[in-house]
Amino acid sequence: MKELIRNEALRIGFSHCGFAVNDSLEELRVFYSDFIRRKGHAGLKYLETYFEKRLHPELVLENTKSVIAVLMNYYPPQIIPEKDNFIISKYAYGADYHHVMRVRLNELVNFMKFSFGDLQAKAFVDSGAVLEKAWAQKCGVGWQGKNTLIINKSTGSFVFIGIILTDLEIEPDVPETSRCGTCNICVTACPAGALDTPYQLNIRRCIAYLNIESREEPPAELKGKLADRIYGCDICQDVCPYNRFALPHLVSEFLPSESLMQMRKTDWLVLTEADFNRIFAGSAIKRAGYHRLKRSIARFYEEDPHEYESN
């Protein structure tokens, strides 16, 4: 059963697939409770909802016996030139990963139902009351590195995570353990100091949080450290030794358009809402919206970012 599911996951386009027994994540209760208590989630409300469900998948899908974790590589075959350019995270080069992953996860669930008969299964992509990274590590497909991202020893960290809860009883894989060792490259490389406590992210200092989620101006001491990044960051991934041998993905939906590849700073500065909607149709950036992107750009030119606050 396990190998049939794994082989189908790889055929569909996932790069890794692992399995764990649902024995809960009760060991994370103290850390997660403290994280919420000290407001480490920086006002991201979704991180504090459904607390018990996040620790106990059987509260999300009744009678959950097993957890399946899949990874999908998104390391691009071609990097958008960064010289004379604003920088966006590689995960946002192409189509919105939520949709791309969800289609493939549903295909895998349908395969399981066809192969093994009547069963319960529910898939998640960066959504719902599921702690994806904790389960990915339990399923053996990677470990949560000092940059707080899932790292696979052969693929690196440029991966999306998908989780399936099911009432099938599946033989578990061996959980992964941290292989970061004494390496602190990501910690020291972060210009904003968001990783000063290894394995924990100071969300309020994270560049990706500041240019995607936050509606506040960056702290004064960070304004010169955003490194031309207007959507996401990637610095802690770009320097990770496990990404030195990252292989380009084979997912056509994640490829950037020719228009995006040709964009340079002057193009971003004069970007109209109509062009934004055309270039970023179906992307994660489109979900963020034109005005939020223009607000990020305005910060580099001492314009008034609040001009774009209404949307």
What is the rounded CA–CA span in Å between residue 166 and residue 161? 17
What is the rounded CA–CA span in Å between residue 154 and residue 205? 29
Angle at 260 between CA 257 and CA 265, to 5 degrees: 175
Helix, strand and coil percent figures for the chain, each rounded to 5: 45, 15, 45
Three-class secondary structure of residue 31 per DSSP: helix
Number of other CB atoms surrounding residue 12 within 10 Å = 16
Taking alpha carbons only, the member of 255, 262, 261 closest to residue 97 is: 255
Are 311 and 290 in contact by the 8 Å Cβ rule? The answer is yes
What is the rounded CA–CA span in Å between residue 72 and residue 140? 15
Are 247 and 75 in contact by the 8 Å Cβ rule? The answer is yes
What is the rounded CA–CA span in Å between residue 272 and residue 294? 10
Which residues share a beta bridge with 152? Answer: 156
What is the rounded CA–CA span in Å between residue 254 and residue 251? 6
**Active-site residue set:** 126
What is the rounded CA–CA span in Å between residue 283 and residue 3? 33
